[in-house]
Amino acid sequence: MNQDTNSVPDTDDDLAGQYVLGALSPEEQAIFEARLTNNVELQKAVNQWQAHFLSITDRLDPLQAPQPLSARIERSLDELEQQSIKDAQKRSIKQPQVLSSFWQSLALWRGISATCLAVAMVFAIQLQTIEPIMSEPTYIAVLVAPENKTPGWVIQTSQNTNQMQLVPLAAVQIPEGKALQFWTKAEGWDAPVSLGLVKRGETLNVDINTLPPLTENQLFELTLEQETGSPTGKPTGPITSIGRGVIML
């Protein structure tokens, strides 16, 4: 039986699975970890196995993380954050560079899960205190592509500024002569209301004082329309992103 298994050499994917199960010998593990540091495919295989097996431990009855632990983590992260801000200021890093590292880490927070996505966004944005326009969001929505549920946009509002911002999470492709139109519809409304047109590479800001109060589960969507907007005042083109709002406080 052993011979049978040993006769077929381990593929990288076999090794990745064994690594995740802790089934490599110390020597094998050391070699594997050395290869892992600069091998994207290998890291991907490990993360894939881990994600598969996680579906088992996700079924364990969850322990409540105690308040002191959360507070301790927050304190430590605050310290790190302060330190990194100081470092950034020392090196007088310009805004675009800071932003790019912001988006890189966002890829992680975004990928963790949609359940955590809204809060992860807040978390990621809070880390980015160098950018002063963001304040504590009170209402948030994540818009995803209807076909593959890829998060594409985040909507957030802040009481302080009375603004709702529609922020792209990735580069946005808008075909020539077209525009993305931003719509919302709360329960009980007859039809969606247009909140404006999204221009290439811009964050759309909407004054929330012009809107009825935002409600839990309110629908938001982006549709592909003519450059000047929908001719009928209602969505006519295909939906590119859709999501529902969550009240944060």
Cα–Cα distance, 156 to 134 (Å, whole number): 9
Bridge partner list, 185: 219
Q: Which is nearer to other proteins, 46 or 214 (CB)?
A: 46
Torsions phi, psi for 83 (to 5 deg): -60, -45
Strand segments (E) across the chain: 139-144, 151-158, 163-168, 178-185, 193-198, 204-207, 219-226, 239-247
Q: How far is the CB of 49 from other proteins (least distance, A)?
A: 7
Residue 13 exposed, middle or buried by CB count within 10 Å (0-12, 13-18, 19+): middle
* CA-angle at 206, arms to 138 and 233, nearest 5°: 125
Q: For other proteins, which residue of 32, 120, 222, 245 counts as binding (CB under 8 A)?
A: 120
Q: Which of 198, 205, 168, 163 is nearest to 180 (CA)?
A: 198
Residues of span 162-221 touching other proteins by CB under 8 A:
none
Question: Counting contacts by CB under 8 A, is residue 113 touching other proteins?
Answer: yes
Question: Counting contacts by CB under 8 A, is residue 53 touching other proteins?
Answer: yes
End-to-end CA distance of the chain: give it in Å, rounded: 60
Cα–Cα distance, 80 to 76 (Å, whole number): 6
Q: How far is the CB of 77 from other proteins (least distance, A)?
A: 6
Residues of span 139-158 touching other proteins by CB under 8 A:
144, 149, 151
Size of the site for other proteins (CB under 8 A): 68
Residues of span 21-40 touching other proteins by CB under 8 A:
21-23, 40
Q: Which stretch binds other proteins (CB under 8 A): 104-112, 153-161, 176-184, 197-205?
A: 104-112
Q: Which is nearer to other proteins, 14 or 202 (CB)?
A: 14
Question: Counting contacts by CB under 8 A, is residue 95 touching other proteins?
Answer: no
Contacts of 229 (CB under 8 A, 6+ apart): 179, 181, 194, 197
What does the block give as tokens for 26?
A: 């110390």
Q: For other proteins, which residue of 7, 38, 92, 115 counts as binding (CB under 8 A)?
A: 115
Q: For other proteins, which residue of 7, 38, 57, 173 counts as binding (CB under 8 A)?
A: 57
Question: Counting contacts by CB under 8 A, is residue 110 touching other proteins?
Answer: yes
Question: Counting contacts by CB under 8 A, is residue 54 touching other proteins?
Answer: yes
The residue ranges that bind other proteins (CB under 8 A) are 1-2, 4-6, 10, 13-14, 17-18, 20-23, 40, 43-66, 69-70, 72-74, 76-77, 80, 101, 104-105, 107-117, 119-120, 122-123, 144, 149, 151
